[in-house]
Each structure stands twice: as C-alpha cells, then as structure tokens.
C-alpha cells in the first residue's frame, strides 16, 4: 500500500512537473490557461507514449482528438449552411438569409492545424465563420485541404488555389450574390501561411488578382528557414504550442524524414543554395528592438541536412521569402501577432517588409496573446482572449472590406 501510494505520488510529481508551465503575469484568466495548457501537454504526452509503443502515430492521435470536435453543417435563423466542393475541394458555405439591395461581401477562410489536422468542421471554426457571415452579412467560404503527413506540400497549397480560383469566377460570384470588389482571404496559423501564399500566387492571374481586396493573417507562420528566431527561443516551452511540436508538425508538412526536425532544431536544415534567401528573414534588421532584446543575430549553418526536400526554398510554403517585386503588389493586409507565440516573429517580419514596400498594413499585436486563441471560443473552453481576437478581426473586416 505504502509503495503504491509512493509510486502514485511520484507519478503525480513527475506529471505536474512535465505539464506545469509558469504563465506570464500579464496573461488573463490564469487558471483556465494553465488548465488548457496542461490538457494540451497531456495529449502530447499520450500521443508520444502511443507512438513509442508502436500503437499509433503521434499525429494520428492528435488528429483523432481534434476530429471529435467536428460539427455538421447546421443552418440557423440567419444563415444557411451547406457543404459542397469547389474543384473537388471540400468547402462549407455560410450564406446570409437577409436580402440586401446590393451584392454581398465575401470572406474565404483557411483553418489552422499545422497542416496536419483541423477542419472547417471544428466547433470553433464553425463558430467563427458563422459569426463572420452574420456580423458582416457576408458570404463565407470555409475551405478544407488535404493534410500532412498523408499529403505533403504542395497538396495543401494546390487545394487552396483550386478552391479560390473556382469561387472567384464571375458566374460563381454572381450565383452567390457576391460583390467581386469586396472579397477577403483570411486564415489563422498554418491557414495564415496558405492565405499569404495564395494571395501571392494570385498576383499572377490578372482577372483574379483584382478581386482579392485584402488578406487577413491571424498569427501566421510564414517561414522556416530560420528556426532560432527570438520568438522560437523565448517560447520554446510556450503555452499550448511548444517549439518542439511546431518543428515536428512543420517538418511533416514537407517530409516524413525524421532527420529534418533534428536538423531544424540545430538550425542547420537549409541547403547551401538558399543563402540568398536569408536577407528576407533577417530578424536583425526586420524585428523591432523590443523583440530582439539583447540577442545577437547569428547566421544559420547551411548544408547540415542534405536530403532533397521540395519546398524548403519555395515561397509557396514560406511566403516571407518572396522578393520585393512580388510583395509590393500585394493587397491591403491585416496581421495579428501574439507575444507568447513561437511564430510571432514571422508576422512581425512580414509586416516590416510589406510596410517598407508601401503595402497598406494594419498590425495588431497582443501583448498578452498566445497562439491558437481563436480555438477557445466555444464550450467548454471559453477564453476572453479568443473573443478579443475575433472582435479585432471582425471590426477590421467590417471597416475595410
């Protein structure tokens, strides 16, 4: 009995020391955040355990948990919700019932989930997209895309492009009563990566380009060439999303090769031929002083990972690496960044580059924010932070779209 109690006590101590994360003082709803963070870390612990005993892959377990949260398309008093496909890509449509004198605004939304999981079906995305349609009397198109590791880059990007091209045809916009001059593309996290990459790609299509009035990037990931940014190092054990897990999932976007995440942790994963790209992600020049703190920029060691992985140098996977001629023709851009977020500095660097080139940018930075907060707006995981981000985003859309 004594021994069992001792083992149990020891287990509890180990468990708490593994999951417990001190929460910065300016974060509100501390206890809720601690609980959410501990549940996220518990999932990761279980997923790692199941992978180690060979029962199932890490990402399959996480995906299974996330899928439990899926919803059916359910219409309500104000919005008709249906699902269909655009060029074989699944979409969920939110069509306001209210009749307007004029054509409606539209938002195309890409969900997050590190390219490995997630769907517009998740409660929180369904909630956000319905809210957007309702508040703006706008048509909302939520897009799903093939996921890693079953499908690697560029499948996700190609699905996004296919759905956007389909929707932006004149006859389709007309069918849904959408004003072709008032369309925004939005996405959070990896959905933000896709949004930025798709908006760039669409600049090659004159008849489509003019229809994208703006893009909204909500705590986006925009590069992987440098994996030792100040935000990576500061948020190594970050709230909900740690640096290890980010690297694990992001590398699965490109390849199953387990050497890539190891090389990324050493910041030695980029090939020798990528040297010319580093100026586009040079945090020494692109980050404000307050984020650099006293860190000294050290260039990455190139050539430490020699497998050929398509995508590592591709702007369709890393929109921050696009050159100035492409960036300067981008439409009006909205960016949200969070202080306690591994990918915070990606957003900051993109904002600096776009502003330097004269692109109109609205940037909201949440000093008490952390990654993925938009996922916490539905029962039982409400966080005021999620609603605040939602309202900032919706207000910006309402005023500008």
Q: Select from 324, 360, 364 the least CA-distant residue to 344.
A: 364
Residue 7 exposed, middle or buried by CB count within 10 Å (0-12, 13-18, 19+)? exposed
Distance, in Å, from the CA atom of 83 to the CA atom of 73, rounded to the nearest integer, reads 7
Q: How far is the CB of 325 from ligand NAG (least distance, A)?
A: 4
Active-site residue, from 189, 190, 251, 375: 189
Q: How far is the CB of 1 from ligand NAG (least distance, A)?
A: 53
Q: Residue 328 interacts with ligand NAG (CB under 6 A)? A: no
Q: How far is the CB of 328 from ligand NAG (least distance, A)?
A: 10
Q: How far is the CB of 266 from ligand NAG (least distance, A)?
A: 12
Here the tokens at position 136 are: 């703006």
- Paired residues of 142 in beta bridges: 92, 109
Q: Residue 67 interacts with ligand NAG (CB under 6 A)? A: no
Whether 170 sits among the annotated catalytic residues: the reply is: no
Q: How far is the CB of 41 from ligand NAG (least distance, A)?
A: 33
- Paired residues of 184 in beta bridges: 107, 214
Residue owning tokens 């924010």: 369
In contact, 281 and 320? CB cutoff 8 Å: yes
Site size toward ligand NAG, by CB under 6 A:
12
Q: Site for ligand NAG (CB under 6 A): which residue of 70, 82, 323, 395?
A: 323
Active-site residue, from 119, 144, 371, 375: 371
Q: What is the DSSP string of 317-347?
A: T-GGG--HHHHTT--EEEEEEEEE-TTHHHH
Instruction: Calculate the alpha carbon distances from 155 to 101, 144, 161 in Å.
Output: 39, 11, 10
Residues 268-287 vs ligand NAG: string with x where CB under 6 A? ----------xx--x-xx--
Q: How far is the CB of 2 from ligand NAG (least distance, A)?
A: 52
Residue owning tokens 């287990």: 11
3-state SS, 376-390, equals CCCCCCCCHHHHHHH
Residues 235-274 vs ligand NAG: string with x where CB under 6 A? ----------------------------------------
Whether 276 sits among the annotated catalytic residues: the reply is: no
Active-site residue, from 144, 159, 226, 341: 341
Please, which residue, 283 or 340, has the CB nearer to ligand NAG? 283
Residue 146 exposed, middle or buried by CB count within 10 Å (0-12, 13-18, 19+)? middle
Distance, in Å, from the CA atom of 63 to the CA atom of 45, rounded to the nearest integer, reads 14
* Contact range with ligand NAG by CB under 6 A, out of 29-37, 150-158, 188-196, 318-326: 318-326
Please, which residue, 139 or 224, has the CB nearer to ligand NAG? 224
Q: Site for ligand NAG (CB under 6 A): which residue of 15, 151, 297, 387?
A: 297
In contact, 110 and 187? CB cutoff 8 Å: yes
Q: How far is the CB of 287 from ligand NAG (least distance, A)?
A: 11
Please, which residue, 38 or 313, has the CB nearer to ligand NAG? 313
In contact, 116 and 147? CB cutoff 8 Å: yes
Whether 341 sits among the annotated catalytic residues: the reply is: yes
Here the tokens at position 327 are: 């960036």
Please, which residue, 268 or 378, has the CB nearer to ligand NAG? 268
Q: Residue 299 interacts with ligand NAG (CB under 6 A)? A: yes
In contact, 110 and 143? CB cutoff 8 Å: yes
Residues near ligand NAG (CB under 6 A) are 278-279, 282, 284-285, 297, 299, 306, 315, 323, 325-326
Residues with catalytic function: 189, 341, 371
């Amino acid at each position: 009995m004594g021994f069992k109690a001792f083992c149990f006590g020891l287990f509890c101590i180990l468990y708490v020391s593994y999951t417990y994360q001190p929460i910065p003082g300016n974060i509100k709803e501390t206890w809720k955040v601690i609980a959410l963070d501990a549940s996220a870390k518990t999932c990761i612990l279980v997923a790692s355990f199941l992978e180690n005993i060979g029962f199932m892959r890490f990402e399959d377990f996480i995906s299974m948990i996330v899928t439990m949260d899926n919803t059916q398309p359910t219409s309500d008093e104000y919005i008709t919700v249906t699902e269909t496909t655009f060029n074989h890509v699944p979409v969920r449509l939110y069509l306001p019932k209210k009749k307007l004198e004029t054509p409606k605004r539209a938002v195309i939304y890409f969900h997050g989930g590190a390219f490995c999981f997630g769907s517009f079906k998740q409660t929180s995305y369904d909630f956000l997209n319905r809210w957007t349609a309702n508040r703006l009397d706008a048509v909302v198109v939520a897009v799903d895309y093939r996921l890693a590791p079953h499908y690697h880059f560029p499948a996700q990007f190609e699905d996004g492009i296919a759905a956007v091209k389909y929707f932006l045809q004149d006859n389709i916009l007309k069918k849904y009563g959408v004003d072709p001059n008032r369309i925004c593309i939005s996405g959070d996290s990896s959905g933000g990566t896709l949004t930025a990459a798709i908006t760039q790609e669409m600049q090659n299509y004159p008849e489509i380009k003019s229809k994208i009035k703006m893009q909204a990037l909500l705590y986006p990931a925009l590069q992987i060439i440098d994996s030792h940014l100040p935000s990576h190092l500061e948020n190594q054990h970050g709230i909900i999303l740690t640096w290890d897990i980010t690297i694990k999932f992001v590398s699965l976007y490109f390849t199953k090769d387990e050497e890539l995440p190891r090389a990324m942790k050493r910041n030695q994963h980029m090939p020798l031929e990528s040297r010319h790209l580093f100026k586009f992600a040079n945090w020494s020049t692109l980050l404000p002083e307050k984020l650099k703190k006293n860190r000294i920029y050290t260039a990455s060691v190139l050539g430490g990972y020699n497998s050929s992985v398509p995508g590592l140098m591709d702007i369709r996977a890393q929109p921050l690496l696009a050159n100035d001629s492409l960036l300067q023709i981008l439409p009006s851009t909205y960016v949200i960044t969070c202080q306690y977020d591994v990918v915070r500095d990606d957003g900051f660097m993109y904002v600096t580059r776009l502003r330097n080139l004269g692109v109109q940018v609205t940037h909201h930075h949440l000093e008490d924010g952390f990654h993925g907060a938009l996922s916490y707006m539905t029962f039982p995981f409400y966080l005021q932070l999620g609603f605040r981000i939602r309202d900032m985003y919706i207000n910006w859309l309402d005023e500008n779209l």
